[in-house]
Amino acid sequence: LSTREIDKMRRAGHLAAKLLHHLSAMVQPGISTLELNDEAERWTQAHGAKSAPLGYKGFPKSICTSINEVVCHGIPSKKQTLKEGDIINIDVTLIVDGYHGDTSKTFFVGEPSPLARKLVEVTEECRRRGIEAIKPGAKMGDIGAAIQEYAEAEGFSVVRDFVGHGISNVFHTAPQVPHYGEWGKGRKLRPGMVFTIEPMINAGTWEVELQADGWTALTKDRKLSAQCEHTLAVTPDGCEILTPYPED
């Protein structure tokens, strides 16, 4: 992308991160995922932006809310309320001035189990290591290799069925960014490339299953899954996180 386009991506990305942080304050036992969704939609409109998921390929809501064994693309629902000990990934994508900012984070509802805490910490470290691998001349496979090596060394698995993606004035575009792979493989990273890294890390098997709603992906063994996501731009000396989370 051009400098001008990356400026727009940065505005969308910063606003998306701010929304994610805003929603994090609502995460507590008893709240429904529909309430999170409705506040997200209200906040987005109040800030002059658009929710990218709403109506995207028929997705019915404004954000994705993925609890415990749900890997991604959980649909907010009035019937689904958060319980003490749950983990929930909230994934927001905003459109500002035609460009997308896509980011997510997994939050604890109350006190997590030791396993849930470790899974979420490892997932964030996976994203960090993936980001660290991004610089001009590095290969796309380096990102996946960095993530997979660490996740598996910690006893977890990397989801194969969903990958990071190019993003711009289009929500999902080339290139694909697998969170598994081999060092030195894949296409060469060049300044101006913009894509997401969004590892989904499972406590058990990497295999996923789609629910009858056609969206909700869950782990085949029903063990926990965590995810976090940033939108990134490759720069001449590394990369810029376009969706910096206020507390990080």
Q: Could you tell me the end-to-end alpha-carbon distance of the chain, in angstroms, rounded to an integer?
A: 26
Give long-range contacts, CB 8 A cutoff, 24+ apart: 84-87: 84/29, 84/109, 84/110, 84/111, 85/109, 85/110, 85/111, 85/112, 85/113, 85/116, 87/112, 87/116, 87/119, 87/120, 87/224, 87/226
Decide which of Co ion, ligand MF3, none touches 53; Cβ closer than 5 to 8 Å per partner kind: ligand MF3
- Backbone torsions φ then ψ of 56, nearest 5 degrees: -70, 115
Kindly state the smallest distance separating residue 91's Cβ from ligand MF3, in Å: 4
The CA dihedral of 82, 83, 87, 89, to the nearest 10 degrees, is: 0
Give CA–CA dist 25/91, Å, rounded.
Answer: 15
Q: Which of 102, 157, 158, 159 binds Co ion (CB under 5 A)?
A: 102
Q: Is 173 in the site for ligand MF3 (CB under 6 A)?
A: no
Decide which of Co ion, ligand MF3, none touches 68; Cβ closer than 5 to 8 Å per partner kind: none
Using the minimum distance from each CB to ligand MF3, give the nearer residue, 115 or 170. 170
Q: Which of 64, 95, 116, 200 binds ligand MF3 (CB under 6 A)?
A: 64
Give CA–CA dist 227/88, Å, rounded.
Answer: 9
Q: Is 73 in the site for ligand MF3 (CB under 6 A)?
A: yes
Q: What is the CA radius of gyration of the chain?
A: 17
Kindly state the smallest distance separating residue 167's Cβ from Co ion, in Å: 7
Q: Is 69 in the site for ligand MF3 (CB under 6 A)?
A: no
Tell me if 130 sits within 8 A of 143, measured CB to CB.
Answer: yes
Using CB under 6 A as the binding rule, the residues of this chain from 98 to 117 that contact ligand MF3 are 102
Q: Is 168 in the site for Co ion (CB under 5 A)?
A: no
Stretch that binds ligand MF3, among 17-25, 56-64, 176-184, 235-243 (CB under 6 A): 56-64
Decide which of ligand MF3, Co ion, none touches 73; Cβ closer than 5 to 8 Å per partner kind: ligand MF3
Stretch that binds ligand MF3, among 50-58, 111-119, 121-129, 134-142 (CB under 6 A): 50-58
Using CB under 6 A as the binding rule, the residues of this chain from 1 to 30 that contact ligand MF3 are none
How would DSSP label each residue in 105-128? EEEESSSPPHHHHHHHHHHHHHHH
Q: Is 53 in the site for ligand MF3 (CB under 6 A)?
A: yes
Q: Is 69 in the site for Co ion (CB under 5 A)?
A: no
Kindly state the smallest distance separating residue 171's Cβ from ligand MF3, in Å: 7
HEC assignment per residue over 189-241: CCCCCEEEECCEEECCCCCEEECCCCCCEEECCCCCEEECEEEEEEECCEEEE
Sites of contact with Co ion (CB under 5 A) = 91, 102, 104, 196, 229
Sites of contact with ligand MF3 (CB under 6 A) = 53, 56-57, 59, 64, 73, 91, 93, 102, 198, 229
